[in-house]
Structure 1
Amino acid sequence: MTDTSIPRADESLDDEATTPVAVDEEIEEETDVDAEEANGAGREKKSPADSELFRQSEIAADYVEGLLDILDYDGDIDELVSAGRPVVEVVGGRLQSLVGQRGATLEALQELTRLAVFRQTGTPSRLLLDVGGYRATRRKELAAVARNAVEKVKEYGEAVRLDPMSAFERKCVHDVVNAIAGVESESEGVEPNRRIVVRPVD
């Protein structure tokens, strides 16, 4: 039976165990919709690596199911491997509180779930947790933000600084900006006020 207990805040965990679970856009390789769809055809044939990733998604799904039981929430849970990473998707009503403002609660739950996977496998996980399709919706919104910033940079020739964003949000913006010629983006500042600067290429 998979251990779905919630890691306590006061549990003793050394730095080597917890550091690899930390997230930033440099290591948080969020995928766009096209990449996820392109990878879908390869899900039926699992390589040894994919099998291990799917095991991570199963462990994570069990953990999330335990959380939903504790919170008395109902939701359908799917575990899969997409674009080379384990994914757990939760769909159902009355789940907005698990997303929180601008996905803050979802990000925290994702880190807890990654830690649960790490405790069982001993391997840092790049698990992606989504609730109610929030990430797909937010990715589209951020693409519009990125394109708007690019238009301003090209029109005025000056750098544009965006509002502070999470690692997931920053990665979404970087992906869009980096695909457009004549502009570049980089992150500046420290959490929770880390933000993206879009500027013309010199």
Structure 2
Amino acid sequence: MKEEITLTGATVEDAVSEALVKLGISRERADISVLDEGKKGFLGLGSRPAKVQVIRKRDAIEEVDRYLKDIARQMDVELTTSVQREGKTVTILLESEKVALLIGKRGQTLNALQTLAQLIANGYTDQFVTIVLDAENYRERRRITLSQLAERKAEQAVRTGRPVKLEPMPSFERKIIHSTLSSRRDIETHSEGRDPHRYLVITAKY
């Protein structure tokens, strides 16, 4: 797949149109540089063709997909992906017979891959996008687990009267805890520490 092409044409527009066709992309996916606007000349004398360089813009999600498959290959994992877009959130579903390796203990590997994928995606786009990696519905299963954990730990904090510290977890998982307990009036939650060791504390109100 060509990433760039330099072409000449009777006019700039002619040269650009031909370049887009050869690259198989739309104008929105192209960076266009006019190297020479050309010259019509008089009665064909002294004319000079227009010259342009057209470069394929690298798509953020395509780059993320390529990165994930490269990592999986290094882990000896054959990976297929599918993409779901909803506004500025892009969910990439990972499928593999060895998908457990990509999830890791308590989703640590999946979370690490998601963080890196986020950095890569926003290096190729002017508009911030949120990347979510999921595999075998892990995110929903984890959300349920964290919600149940939140309720148990809240009850523990109320019963003992002592603050309960949870294990370090990424911000989007801490938000699940906060959200689950937000309607309770007998406890409060806050985070302490610095990422990646930042954790949530549940404290009873009296």
TM-score (norm 2): 0.61
Question: Out of 92, 101, 109, which is 2:96 matched to?
Answer: 92
Structure number with greater CO (CA < 8 Å, separation at least 6) is 1
* Structure 1 position 148 matched with structure 2 position 140: no
Give the superposition deviation at 1:136. Answer: 1.9
Matched with 1:109 is 113
Q: Contact 2:99–2:135 at 8 Å: present in 1 too?
A: yes
**Which stretch has the larger CA shift, 156-165 or 93-102?**
156-165
Q: Contact 2:88–2:128 at 8 Å: present in 1 too?
A: no
Aligned-partner residue type, residue 191 of structure 1: D
Matched with 1:159 is 163
Q: Please state whether the residue corresponding to 1:120 is helix, strand or coil.
A: coil
* Structure 1 position 75 matched with structure 2 position 79: yes
Q: Please state whether the residue corresponding to 1:86 is helix, strand or coil.
A: strand
Q: Distance in 2 between matches of 1:182 and 1:141?
A: 22
Q: Please state whether the residue corresponding to 1:79 is helix, strand or coil.
A: strand
Matched with 1:135 is 139
Give the superposition deviation at 1:147. Answer: 0.5
Aligned-partner residue type, residue 97 of structure 2: G
Give the superposition deviation at 1:69. Answer: 4.5
Q: Contact 2:163–2:201 at 8 Å: present in 1 too?
A: yes
Give the superposition deviation at 1:73. Answer: 2.3
Task: Give the structure with higher Rg (CA).
Answer: 2
* Structure 1 position 177 matched with structure 2 position 181: yes
Matched with 1:35 is none
Give the ranges of 4+ consecutive aligned residues of structure 1 lying more than 6 Å apart after TM superposition.
none
Alpha-carbon RMSD across the aligned residues, in angstroms, is 2.8
Q: Contact 1:183–1:199 at 8 Å: present in 2 too?
A: yes
Q: Contact 1:153–1:200 at 8 Å: present in 2 too?
A: yes
Aligned-partner residue type, residue 119 of structure 2: L
- The 1:88–1:199 alpha-carbon spacing in structure 2 relative to 1, beyond 3 Å, is same
Q: Please state whether the residue corresponding to 1:89 is helix, strand or coil.
A: strand
**Which stretch has the larger CA shift, 96-105 or 145-154?**
96-105
Give the superposition deviation at 1:77. Answer: 1.4
Q: Contact 1:57–1:88 at 8 Å: present in 2 too?
A: no
Number of equivalences = 151
Q: String of CA shifts for 1:51-103, please: whole Å, max 9, x gaps.
A: xxxx7555533443444345442233121124751111112211222222222
Q: Distance in 1 between matches of 2:111 and 2:151?
A: 24
Question: Out of 91, 100, 119, which is 2:123 matched to?
Answer: 119
More strand by share: 2
| Structure 2 residues not aligned, in runs of 5+ | 4-58
More helix by share: 1
Q: Contact 1:57–1:81 at 8 Å: present in 2 too?
A: no
Give the superposition deviation at 1:176. Answer: 0.9
Aligned-partner residue type, residue 94 of structure 1: K
